[in-house]
Amino acid sequence: MPPESLKYNPSHEWVSLTEENNQKIATVGVSAFAIEQLTDLVYMALPKVGSHVTAGSEFGEVESVKAVSPLYSPVTGVVIEVHAALVDQLETLGDDPYGNGWIIKVKVTDEASMSGLLDYAAYQRQCAEA
């Protein structure tokens, strides 16, 4: 997925929205900027399928040799798929953050929860100021 087509949480998670059977499905990952800041990833904790996530709330964490960073959901809904293979292949996050580096897929239950997401240009400005 081209990063320009995604929406972003101010906390560096990206979201791609698709429509399946009249339901909005959000694919969630972590931006290349965040992965570069973390460096040397060593561990990742992911939610279980069926878990409820709320926009702005923690759904997992990623740990590097520097720090443990919470992952915040950009949407409210139910986790329908987890990219479990990432746990053993953390390098995928750095190699392909907007493709194979996706983390979870969520069936969106509250579309208004996405109102605070940034477009690519706004997210780039935020990263430049960091």
What CATH number has the domain bearing residue 19?
2.40.50.100
Which range marks the domain in which residue 107 is found? 3-111
121 lies in some domain: no
91 lies in some domain: yes
Q: What is the count of structural domains for the chain?
A: 1
16 lies in some domain: yes
For residue 69, give the nearest of 116, 16, 13, 26 by alpha carbon: 13
124 lies in some domain: no
130 lies in some domain: no
97 lies in some domain: yes
Dihedral sign of CA atoms 44, 16, 125, 101 in order: positive
> pLDDT digit string (tens) for 26-84?
999 999 999 988 888 999 999 999 999 999 999 999 999 988 999 999 999 999 999 99
> pLDDT digit string (tens) for 77-108?
999 999 999 999 999 999 999 999 999 999 99
